[in-house]
Amino acid sequence: MQGIGALLLLAVALGMDAFSVAVCVGLAGATWRQKLRLAAGFGVFQFLMPIIGLALGSVFGRMVGAVANYIGGGLLAALGIGIIWRTLAVGIQCPPLLHRSFLALIMASLGVSLDALAVGVGYGLGVRQVRIVPASAVIGAVAYLMTIAGAEVGGQVGRLVHQRAPLVGGAILVALGIRIIFGG
């Protein structure tokens, strides 16, 4: 990662899904305890997934050698394009009872952090000198804070904000992918 600015952009991009889901939870009238539980679940999964992804990407990167940067950057860009396309084509649906069921919390935490796994794989392929634990801690903390913010926003201006958050996150991932491909 080439600096705190890039790391924060990545963390915000990854946190957009968590923010959007949390807006839904806020719209559903979750209690503070439920919001904190959701934020903790999302934060922990967002912390763990880049670490797992980096390990997988590093192993795969050794196998593909010189084209690893292109594959890693392409993966991030494709992920961003996929998020944008899905948001425009399908929209965002609020999962029912997410804030009341532990199993739903685990499934949602896994769902919103799969992009973090893919980013870890992408960075494992495209960037060799990543201090993944501190970077993942920032990603997890930002996801936690964005979840709290999303849940609070949910009851106020939620319908407008949560439809656009994934578009911003997708655009950031595309830009980071292009940056890796072209060595910026």
Exposure string over 165-183, b if 16+ CB within 10 A, otherwise e? bbebbbbbbbbbbebbbee
Q: Work out how many domains the chain is built from and give that number.
A: 1
Neighbours of 27 (CB within 10 A): 17
CA-to-CA distance for 127 and 133, rounded, in angstroms?
15
Angle between helices 102-126 and 158-181 (to 10 degrees): 20
Q: Can you tell me which residue has the tokens 């968590």?
A: 18
CA-to-CA distance for 31 and 9, rounded, in angstroms?
29
Q: Using CA atoms in the order 113, 116, 118, 122, what is the torsion angle rounded to 10 degrees? A: 180
- pLDDT block averages, 10 residues each, the chain of length 184: 78 85 77 90 94 82 68 74 77 59 80 81 66 90 94 71 68 75 68
Among 149, 126, 146, 128, smallest CA distance to 138 is for 146
Q: Kindly report the CATH number assigned to the domain that includes residue 176.
A: 1.20.1250
Q: Give this prediction's pTM.
A: 0.73
| Cβ atoms of 22 and 99 closer than 8 Å | no
Residue type, 109: S
**Structural domain that includes position 43:** 4-181
Please give the pLDDT value at position 91.
65
Residue type, 35: K
